[in-house]
Amino acid sequence: MAVHPPVIVHPPSATGGRRVTIHGQAVGLAYGPGDVAEFLRRAGVPEDVALDDPELIEWRGGDQDVWEPPA
C-alpha cells in the first residue's frame, strides 16, 4: 500500500493561491512558500523542514515555485 505525504499543496486556483491540507484537513490558502512554512509551523512541524521533501509534502499542479494558475 502506498504511503501518501501528510501535507498536500493543491494546484493554483483561478483566483490565486493554493489550498493546503494537512492530514486531509484544510489549513488555509497559501500565496507563497512562506505561507506553507507558516502552516507547517502552526501544525508543529520543525522549522528546518525542507519544503521539497516528498515524504512530507506533495505538490500538485506545480512545485513550490508555481503560484499562478495556468494560462
Global confidence as pTM: 0.91
Sheet holding 25-30, edge to edge: 25-30, 18-22, 7-12, 57-59
pLDDT at position 1, please? 56
What are the residue boundaries of the structural domains of the chain, listed by start?
7-59
The three three-digit cell numbers of residue 11, written as one number: 494546484
Alpha-carbon radius of gyration of the chain: 12
Q: How confident is the model at residue 71 (pLDDT cuts 50, 70, 90)?
A: confident
Q: How confident is the model at residue 62 (pLDDT cuts 50, 70, 90)?
A: very high
pLDDT at position 15, please? 84
Mean pLDDT of the chain: 92
Q: Model confidence over 36-61: pLDDT tens digits? A: 999 999 999 888 889 999 999 999 99
